[in-house]
Structure 1
Amino acid sequence: MPPGDEPLPASGADQHYRALERLYGSAPVNAKFASKLHIPGEGRSQLTFTVSPEDYHAAGAAHGTIYFKMLDDAAFYACNSLVTDRFLLTTSFNLFFSKPVRAGQVTAEGHWVSGRRRVFVAEARLVDEEGEEIGRGTGTFMKSRIPLSSLPGYAAGGPSGL
């Protein structure tokens, strides 16, 4: 690489976001879902996942548990992008289902709404492949006593492990 063309080191915020993405990928429950988390910036997250017949309820569309999981994860990671020391916990979540989805890629978009000390609020929405909203939710999250640096998925190369 010619001098001056070296890649710039990632900022502390970017390192935190990548560590949160690794944390998501390392959670055992996520092995059950064809999903991927991306945190593009402070207070935002994007989760893409694929709905397949294994996710259906008896009437042939995605079960509400899929909606909840992806909305909760998107809102959660939008908030935890603001917190570099502690793991957050969901304390409440409200859902609205607007359209059934049967198959294909769905995107959950999360964004932080308020709170920066102990309690955080975020919203998330689900969008299908055609760009139509299929659900939305609002969650409340609270700082736990669990240090992010103690979690193997986060610590492996995260801000404290660099």
Structure 2
Amino acid sequence: MRLVTLPDDATPPSGEAAHFRALEQLYRSAPINSLFRSDLTISNAGVSHIDFDVDETLFHAAGAVHGTVYFKMLDDAAFYAANSLVSDRFLLTTSFNLLFTRPIHPGRLRAEGRWISGKRRVYVAEASLIDSEGEEVGRGTGTFMRSQFPLSSLPGYRTAA
């Protein structure tokens, strides 16, 4: 888990910004993310970006990036775009449709998540996977629902006091 330290004269974020920073910390604290060189940024409600690096360690036996990488980054980007709108509960993925549009080559990629609809129990969000040349290599759409887990109960979710 990576902790962020603020300069002595910095004011901690509050409200929506504090929620976004806490979600970013939650992403970094997830054990699965120690397997990926990636970083989540939530700039606005309903929008997320995950920048990550791909190399040959993520290839399948035929020498291309394994489909789990597509799913992981697209699901995470869509999930965090949706959960940025929910400050009390952790969302769960209930379905995810994935389209592979091009092979992924080694390098820097970005998953861009966008909330589409829903603001009560079920949320719909989509994500695009963009390679270092600006080409889309995959896209997906997911549905997410509120869980029984309060965000405040998760050890990685920390808002400013």
TM-score, length-normalised on structure 1?
0.91
Q: Please report how far the alpha carbon of residue 85 of structure 1 lies from its aligned counterpart in structure 2 after TM superposition.
A: 0.3
1:13 aligns with 2:16: yes
Alpha-carbon distance, 1:107 to partner: 0.1
Report the equivalent of 1:142: 145
Identity of aligned residues (%): 63
Alignment-derived partner of residue 3 in structure 2: none
Instruction: Give 1:88 deviation, angstroms.
Output: 0.2
In the alignment, structure 1 residue 47 sits paired with structure 2 residue 41: no
Q: Does 1:69 align with 2:72?
A: yes
Q: Give 1:140 deviation, angstroms.
A: 0.2
Q: 1:3 aligns to what?
A: none
Unpaired stretches in structure 2, ≥5 consecutive residues: 1-8
Question: TM-score of the superposition, structure 2-length normalised?
Answer: 0.92
1 or 2, which has the higher helix percentage? 1
Which of the residues 32, 37, 41 maps onto 2:40?
A: 37
Distance in 1, matches of 2:140 and 2:130, equals 12
Q: Which runs of 4+ in 1 moved over 4 A?
A: 6-9
Q: How many residues align?
A: 153
Residue type of the partner of 2:38? S
Alignment correspondent of 1:105:
108
What code does the residue aligned with 2:118 have? Answer: G
Matched residue SS, 2:19: helix
1:80 maps to 2:78: no
Instruction: Give 1:8 shift.
Output: 5.4
In the TM superposition, 1:16-27 aligns within 5 A as: 16-27=19-30
Q: Which structure: larger Rg?
A: 1
